Amino acid sequence: MDIVNPQYESTFVFDNDFPALMEDGPEPIDSGDPLFRAIGARGKCKVMCFSPNPNVTIPLMSLKEIKGVVDTWIQEMTILGAKYKWVQIFENKGSALGSSNPHPHCQIWASSFIPNEASVKDINLMDYKVKHRTNMLVDYAKKEEARKERLVVSNQDWLGLVPYWALWPYETMILPRRRHILRMTDLTDDERRSLADIMKQLTTKYDNLFECCFPYAMGFHGAPTGPEHETQDQSHWQFHAMYYPPLLSSASKKKFMGGYELLANVQRDLTAEQAAEKLRILPKIHYKEK
């Protein structure tokens, strides 16, 4: 039986038909071998449409529409975060990132475990906090705003910049500018609105770079969720967003991670400062709206 989505006028969230995580997943048998360890992985996977209009993306949506997307993200994170340790909101935009549906959408995966990338980040953020008694990303944002050489866009609450450690040619991140924020659910209404603005600013720059619907993988990281983390000190975390675009020098030329980069060390095709400058000087108005 085919399921037809109801008519919707803003955002729409539904369960993924082919989830990578399930709430009733089986528990693996203990092999007794330290080289073949496994634990159960449970969770829930959802898909979220940004708009009923299939022809728009974040840079072409109004601030009110993007604010609605942010509000829905927070609603979903509040519900899923009450049960699960990690809620990963992410968007794969464009066929270059393997997206099979051009309709503007993202995915939300909640898991009973903290994923690898977040686990490594958790360790490094904690190490910095213990050593320096401050928050790494709060300190980092202050230094980047002062230097300005890798800054791309900004508003009253957020900075959009090419990180010093960027691996992809036009990799960027969004960081809070004014205060320490553990999770997306901690945002004020004004900060939700300004997050919508900085996302629109940054993705407009992306589209204007090669005058195309610029592909990227993006997502948010913040402090872990779930009941057990409510009583734990998570002050080493700072909420932020990451954008990983694969394009290198044109709308059709992709950056590939080859042998040396996969086996030894990633090589940059241009410096973080050069990438930031190329993005920063682009028009603020989307090329389709000129």
CB count, 10 Å around CB of 19? 16
Dihedral (CA of 46, 96, 288, 55) sign: negative
Closest CA to 84 of 183, 176, 187, 196: 183
- The residues that bridge with 221 in the sheet, in sequence order, are 240
Instruction: State yes or no: is 221 an active-site residue.
Output: no
Helical segments of 22-149, H only: 63-81, 116-132, 136-147
Beta-carbon contacts of residue 59 (< 8 Å; ≥ 6 apart): 200, 203, 204, 206, 207, 286
Q: How many helices (H) does the chain have, and how many strands (E)?
A: 6, 9
- Out of 105, 229, 236, 240, the active site residue is 105
- Catalytic positions, written as ranges: 105
